[in-house]
Structure 1
Amino acid sequence: MDPVLLARWCEQHLGSPPVEEMFSSGHLSAVIGLRLADDREVVVKVRPDSPRIAACVEVQRRLFQAGYPCPRPLTGAEPFGEDVATAEAYVPGGAVLPSADHAAEAFAEAFARLIRLAPRPAEVSTLDPVPSWADWNHTADGLWPYPGEDPEVNLNEVTGPEWIDEAGRRARDRLRDSESEAVIGHCDWLAGNLRWSADTLLVVHDWDSLIAESEAVLVGFAAALYSTVNADELATVEDTERFLDAYCRARGREFSADELKRSWAAGVWTRAYDAKYQHSVGQPVTSLTENEARERLRRIGTGSQRS
């Protein structure tokens, strides 16, 4: 990160230069925590430009105005050299997980509130392209989309494992069997993106992960990705069941049989995509096991060929 460019950007868009870097991190974005000369603490995010970033910031702004616990956006999507940057208020503190015996309800209720308060897709500009781990309906050749986090990798050119490809294919085919009206939601409902004060949600981060998708699919992603006892361990099959039950209670209506199957299929897709990527780049496959894939597929009415 060019400190001169960063200082100039802060002065231009925040009205004050940085005097201290509190932290820096990032995977798909460079994330820098700064204390400004006027004593404000802010977070600046820099990433390659995309038309979806402006829409993500607008949704985050509306959610903040509606009282949802997200950082207050301080800028829109503004040029940063050849990239684009945004700034938001820094929200420190909080625990990574709520209490273990209330985790499913806490994560599900927070997700239901987000869906309820978010604007309709037609009210904001495009949220395309969809992040790769949620892009089951991509139009490129092959089963798997190109990884946005690593565009040099073509998952379709990597052999096996057969059970991961099978899980992804069966989940995608089930998702394509039906469709419903899109809503806006968060497609990366990982424990690392939320912070809690006891069982009360303190803040949700990573608002670049907003997409327009059917409610059942969004809930399926969330139910498969959250954690209950350890932020490094994704939801078990039983955890996913508890999340889906808790979400329906929070929304005040049950999912139909078709919606429930689409939720399970969405969870299989995103976990299988991550597993395929891990295998493709030589990492341990931790996002899904063959036995768990078989059990999740059974819940969408399409079991493994070897079950």
Structure 2
Amino acid sequence: MTLDDLPGWLVGWCVDHLADEPVGVLFERRSLSAVFGLRLAGGRDVVLKAREDDGRAVSCVAAQGQLAERGFPCPRPLTPVVGVGALAVHAEESRAGGAPLRGDSPDVAVRYAAVFAWLMAELAEVTVAPPLPNPRWARWDHTDPGLWPAIDFLDERDQSTVPAYVAQTSARVRERMLATDLPCVLGHADFEAQNLRWHDGDIWAVHDWDSLAWQPEAALVGAASGAFASASPPSLAPIESSSAFLAAYQDLRGRRFTVEEQEIAWAASLWPAAHNARWEALHGDAPVSCEAVRAQATERLRRANA
């Protein structure tokens, strides 16, 4: 990608808000957000993020900034969120380097749990407006009609391609989770291997702060325990690894979950995988999450009392 390929508003935005202009494009990634790695004329490397403005971005970036100030390894925002038409845009420092930590064994799970426990402890000291609505893959708490949150480009596809066991699992998970009245806290709802970088065995950077959510702690931890090993395509960690993640998290936080919290954690461990299984089926992708849900749902639902 070259400078000529950048959105028309971007160069002027950098001049206005960073007092510098881009002279090179380091990378571009597009998913829910458009992310541009840029080299500025003054020599700085920055990352610019633009996503549809659904009202979440201001809180997410504010929380990210507070975490960076507290010394947590995440990119420091360089600007607040700025509206550009229908987009919410901000810039952050480039925290390049490091490598993903691969694997889904219990030992790897414990290493990820330690980062998540640190992350949640720091977020407990952060004060922002709840970043609602929650990310769509974590939105079991939606108020839309039907089982799934309303997502137009998924809803318009042939729903008959979604295996019945995926829908049935999701319905049982959601019923169990909606029955809880545990208090909500701030947490990272896309805690996947692809969003973390490690260096010499230590965590170097946690990315994707657009994915903060406002849900019960047990639900956030449970979802992370199932998703921590996911890259592309995402899947579901082995049950014994999720168990190791949950145990390590509680040890590190110095508090044992109640029976209800344990059940909510196990229920939540299935929801992202079920969302991904539905995605696979609707897009005709290889059934990676579908097979993981098929293989593990019975035991995870049992532990969830769902």
Kindly report which structure 2 residues correspond to 1:38-49, keeping only aligned pairs within 5 A, or say none. Answer: 38-49=42-53
> Counterpart amino acid of 1:85?
V
Cα RMSD (Å) of the superposition?
Answer: 2.2
The residue aligned with 1:305 is: none
Select 2:99's aligned residue among 95, 105, 110. 95
CA contact (8 A) 1:192 1:231 kept: no
2:109 aligned residue (104, 113, 122): 104
Check the 8 A contact 1:97/1:228 in 2, yes or no.
no
**Aligned match of 2:145 in 141, 145, 161?**
141
CA distance in 1, matches of 2:132, 2:23: 36
* 8 Å contact from structure 2 (residues 177, 268) kept in 1: yes
Over residues 248-282 of structure 1, what are the superposed CA-to-partner deviations in whole Å (9 max), with x where a residue is unaligned? 11101111111011001011122112111211222
Q: CA deviation at 1:53?
A: 0.2
Q: CA deviation at 1:224?
A: 0.5
Give the Å deviation of 1:184.
0.6
Q: Deviations over 1:206-249 (max 9, x none)?
A: 00000111100000110000119999654111110110011011
Gaps of at least 5 residues in structure 2 are none
2:136, 2:149 within 8 Å by CA — same for their partners in 1? yes
1:61 matched to 2:65:
yes
The corresponding residue for 1:283 is 285
2:82 maps to 78
Distance 2:301 2:156 in 1: 21
2:154 counterpart SS class: coil
Residues 102 and 199, structure 1, Cα contact 8 Å, conserved in 2? no
Cα offsets for 1:119-158 (capped at 9, x unmatched): 568x3124111111111111111101123xxx32218961
CA contact (8 A) 1:142 1:156 kept: no
The one-character-per-residue Cα deviations of 1:77-108 (angstroms, maximum 9, x if unpaired) are 11234312111000111120078674222211
Aligned residue for 1:12?
16
The Cα of 1:48 is off from its aligned counterpart by 1.1
Question: TM-score, normalised to structure 1's length?
Answer: 0.91
Using the size of structure 2 for normalisation, the TM-score is 0.91
C-alpha distance in structure 2 between counterparts of 1:205 and 1:174, whole Å:
30
Q: Which residue of 2 aligns with 1:116?
A: 121
Residues 1:25 and 2:41 aligned together: no
Range with bigger deviation, 94-103 or 179-188: 94-103
Who is 2:228 aligned against?
226
Matched, 1:173 2:175: yes
When structure 1 is superposed on structure 2, of 90-99 and 161-170 the one drifting more is 90-99
Contact 1:275–1:285, Cα closer than 8 Å, also in 2: yes
For the residue of structure 2 that corresponds to 1:202, the secondary structure is strand
- The residue number in structure 1 matching 2:202 is 200
Distance 2:33 2:302 in 1: 37
- Provide structure 1 residue ranges, at least 5 long, that are not aligned to the other structure: 303-307
Identical counterparts, % of pairs: 38
Q: How many residues align?
A: 298
In structure 2, the residue matched to 1:273 is 275
CA distance in 1, matches of 2:223, 2:236: 11
CA contact (8 A) 1:105 1:246 kept: yes
2:120 corresponds to 1:129: no
Aligned to 2:254: 252
In 1, Cα distance between equivalents of 2:38 and 2:7: 12
1:293 is the counterpart of 2:297? yes
